[in-house]
Amino acid sequence: MRFLHWLTRRSQEDAELDEELQFHLAEEARLRIGRGEAPDSARQSARRGFGNVLRTKEIAREAWTWSALDRLAADLHFSLRMLRKSPAFTALSVAALALGIGATTSVYSVVHSVLLRSLPFPQPERLVMVWETQPKTGKPNVVQTGNFLEWRRRNRSFDNMAAIEALPFNVEAGDEAVQVPGLLVTAGFFETLGVQPLLGHAIRPEDDTPNGAAVVVLSYGFWQRRFGGRPDAIGSKVFFGEQPAQVIGVMPPGFHLPTQPNIDAYAPLRIQPGQALRDGRNFSVVARLRPSVPLRDAGGEMRRIAAQTAQERPDINTGWSATVVPLLEQTVGKTRTTLLVVWGVAGIVLLIACANVANLLLMRAAARRREMNVRAALGAGRWRLLHQLLAESLLLALAGGVLGLLLAYWGVPAILRLLPTGFPLPRRDEIAVDQAALWFTAAVSLASGIFFGVLPAFEVDLGCLSDGLRYGGRQSTAGSRSLRSSLVVAEVALAMLLVIGAGLMLRSWTLLRHVDPGFRPDRLISFRMLLMTSSRDFPQILALRASSVREMLDRIRSLPGVEAASSIHMTPLSGQQSGTWYSRADRPPPPLAQGGGDVSVISDSYFRTMGIPLLEGREFDERDRSGSPPVAVINQTLARAAFPGENPIGKRMRVYWGPSGDPVEIVGVAADIHHNGLRTAPDPCLFLPHAQQPSGFLTLVVRTNGDAGVIAAVQKEIHQVNPAQGIAEIRPMESLVAADTAEPTLETSVLSIFGFLALGLASIGIYAVVSYSVEQRTREMGIRLALGAARQVILSGVLREGFVLALIGIGAGLVAALALTRYLATLLYTVRPTDPLIYASVTSVLVAAALAGCYFPARRATAVDPAVVLREE
């Protein structure tokens, strides 16, 4: 209603003003006629004496309060018309902006969801993880059971502290059995996180005592899948292995410890006091700081407690300390650097896009100089013209922003879907292009619009109106040319920086792709499980593990389509590995803090099955079983470290592993493999025979003839040996190798795409500036040609102009790259951030792009027909 009123009032005022002015002119003419002037000349001099009628109206109108809005509407309307009139310019600008804004918004939505938003718990900033730290390296390490008990008993810094251990849970479903990701937790776990179950209750202190009842708390997802979301699931039984466990609670949807996102069930972690001191390091520890205790003080207290435990139990704790890490930092980990680098790169792409649009606008402003000058001469105020230009750039920015937001809205979920399972992106299910992203886009679009809108506005120099009219808008001022040149230099420099970054990543990625994992992953299938045994007596459990694995392997090896089969307790490239101390038995034992490395428990013919070359001696076979002399195979790295210049075969080593303390005799040396990732150098590794050191962790590795039916056959054989045995995961080793490079692959593709965009935008920038300058100087060139200048001279002159700009940009980009690429160092594999090969080749790529950008407009310059130009004069 108010708007209608406003509209009618406006048109009424307009009409009244018109009538008033008409009356004024008529009255003045009448006065002059009365003095004796001729009617025609009287009317003319009345008009002259009045001044500029249009401008008067405009100024009078501006006296009314609503005219600011009015003016904005008019500006926007006019801008739309101008933008529609030059579709190529508009499309190019909007596309560049959409790409720049889309890229920054996409990365921002990930940055916001992963790095900035707090974790979904009450007072999440007080949640921490507590680790032991390794001697010398100080690297965080899982916690020894006895140490955890001491920490929990002695600390004054935490409200609550809980130990957790991830373990597959074996679940029977009809006559099938599956294994789901499970988490053993001590009673304080849910209380520490501050989350109540959706149904039932959490694990209580009486549940994690050695004789507590077998209970389980389910995740929301598992409850839905397994019980169809029925509330009567509480109190029912789930068979975990042989023992039924009672469901006592269901967690709310979306609940998980962010470092353990896929857990389906939680069961009590029972610590046997007698066993606590003998246990290895297995637990992660999550804790909640007391409200009054700063993180630093908690860290100090934990180090003091660790120093005490080191004194009390030097055999296991010498050199070890402790550290406290905020849960968010723990969750985000290395991803922080990656995300910030990618965000920065996206921001630079946006900057280049803005510089590009500013340049295009500048050129258009120059081309529209005549229009502006005419409007100024007709009485448009300087501010009016500036507003007009700003309205145009804001419209462009808005269009780019909307498209960019759509790009992010569709693109981010699409890219997330493309990521393989197990891709190391924390808080993945929390990532959303949401309201925060919307605000971010709005802010970024507005800022860009103002940035590239203000620059061309300087171009409207009303000081020399008459010049503009006289030269018909063909001249550009020196000031705006240097502005354009600096924009191009900046564009090229930024593009150079990004392309060098992308080049480094590409080279690193190529090298990584050529890393030999050390085994042949083709046609190799892994079956991961936790071995289920029906006994509760430890020696008997060990015997059952050994016999069931032997039986499984015997059956699988006799299947048609199976070329070889064996087992290892922790799958290579799965991110899991065991470690312990070991040292030569023929030397005095080194301090416990030194020596040791990885341990793998494997079955017969493991190296043959995996395709790992055996360098010396033999691998495990029928001779190595329980009761026979304990043996070991070592890898090349361990052989070099422990037996430099000696033959290790027949030597003995002390190993801190398993119940018996007898030294093992080395029977073979195997080539290294990249167990802990292609990017990490192989660690020393000691292999023990499963028959002598039966482990509950088991991955069967089966080399097939490529027949997909073999997988089902293998599953059937496992079921035959133990019907209650579920399988946690079946995965081709090739997919594990691919997953290990998935992260660098994504980083490299993102940075390459951004680098490519930057290169394209910068080339367009050079092209636009050179062709504009050629257009401006058509007359000059025509005249020079007419006066007999050689076309070659003119061509090289134009080429030089653009090329010098490009070279300055390339030089600046090189300096920037030298200064900034060190932030890439953590993402690079073996490539140094200053790799001269990359710098040289990227320089030549940019030089080529710059030449192309200059050449085409320069050729047009030489095609000028002098006759046409002279006629125009």
Partner 1 sequence: MEDRIELLHGTLEMLILRTLRAGPQHGHGIGVAIRATSQEVLQVEHGSLYPALHRLRKEGLIEGEWKLSENKQRARYYRLTAKGRKQLTAEESRWNRMVEAIARVLRPA
Residues that bind partner 1 (CB under 8 A): 16-17, 19-21, 23-24, 26-28, 30-31, 49-53, 55-56, 59-60, 62-65
Q: What is the CA radius of gyration of the chain?
A: 38
Cβ closest to partner 1, residue 35 vs residue 136: 35
What is the Cα–Cα distance from 791 to 859, expressed in whole angstroms?
Answer: 9
Tokens of 815: 């300096």
Shortest distance in whole angstroms from residue 25 CB to partner 1: 9
Amino acid 466 reads S
SS3 701: strand
Shortest distance in whole angstroms from residue 15 CB to partner 1: 11
Cβ closest to partner 1, residue 60 vs residue 721: 60
Tokens of 692: 């002598």
Within 10 angstroms of residue 277's Cβ, the number of other Cβ atoms is: 14
Cβ closest to partner 1, residue 60 vs residue 450: 60
Cβ closest to partner 1, residue 53 vs residue 425: 53
Shortest distance in whole angstroms from residue 498 CB to partner 1: 53
What is the Cα–Cα distance from 873 to 862, expressed in whole angstroms?
Answer: 19
Shortest distance in whole angstroms from residue 443 CB to partner 1: 36
Cβ closest to partner 1, residue 56 vs residue 246: 56
Cβ closest to partner 1, residue 28 vs residue 430: 28
Cβ closest to partner 1, residue 48 vs residue 136: 48
Cβ closest to partner 1, residue 27 vs residue 662: 27
Tokens of 23: 């009356």
Cβ closest to partner 1, residue 194 vs residue 379: 379
Shortest distance in whole angstroms from residue 58 CB to partner 1: 9
Cβ closest to partner 1, residue 51 vs residue 650: 51
Shortest distance in whole angstroms from residue 43 CB to partner 1: 14
Question: Residue 480 in contact with residue 362, Cβ under 8 Å?
Answer: yes
Cβ closest to partner 1, residue 8 vs residue 275: 8
Cβ closest to partner 1, residue 64 vs residue 78: 64
Shortest distance in whole angstroms from residue 759 CB to partner 1: 54
**Strand bridging mode 176-185 / 685-689:** unpaired
Shortest distance in whole angstroms from residue 99 CB to partner 1: 47
Question: Residue 354 in contact with residue 452, Cβ under 8 Å?
Answer: yes
| H helical segments located in 652-741 | 709-721, 733-740
Task: Give strand pairing partners of 566.
Answer: 701
- In the chain, the N- to C-terminal Cα span, in Å, equals 58
Cβ closest to partner 1, residue 61 vs residue 679: 61
HSE-CB at 741 with a 13 A cutoff on CA atoms is 22
Shortest distance in whole angstroms from residue 66 CB to partner 1: 11
Shortest distance in whole angstroms from residue 6 CB to partner 1: 15
Question: Residue 813 in contact with residue 493, Cβ under 8 Å?
Answer: yes
Shortest distance in whole angstroms from residue 48 CB to partner 1: 10
Q: At what angle do helices 836-862 and 478-513 cross, to 10 degrees?
A: 140
Shortest distance in whole angstroms from residue 55 CB to partner 1: 7
Shortest distance in whole angstroms from residue 812 CB to partner 1: 49
What is the Cα–Cα distance from 717 to 732, expressed in whole angstroms?
Answer: 18
Closest of 740, 674, 682, 754 to residue 505, by C-alpha: 754
Shortest distance in whole angstroms from residue 10 CB to partner 1: 13
SS3 391: helix
**Strand bridging mode 215-218 / 243-250:** parallel
Cβ closest to partner 1, residue 29 vs residue 504: 29
571 backbone φψ class: left, alpha, beta (φ>0; ψ -120 to 50)? beta
Question: Residue 528 in contact with residue 727, Cβ under 8 Å?
Answer: yes
Shortest distance in whole angstroms from residue 23 CB to partner 1: 5
The residue assigned the tokens 């030489």 is 862
Closest of 292, 208, 220 to residue 261, by C-alpha: 220
Q: How does DSSP assign 580-646, residue by residue?
A: E-EEETTSPPPPTTS--EEEEEE-TTHHHHHTPPEEEE----TT--TTSPPEEEEEHHHHHHHSTTS
Cβ closest to partner 1, residue 16 vs residue 329: 16
Scored b (16 or more CB within 10 A) or e, 340-366 reads: ebbbbbbbbbbbbbbbbbbbbbbbbbb
Q: For residue 309, which phi and psi values (nearest 5 degrees)?
A: -65, -30
Closest of 528, 667, 534 to residue 604, by C-alpha: 667
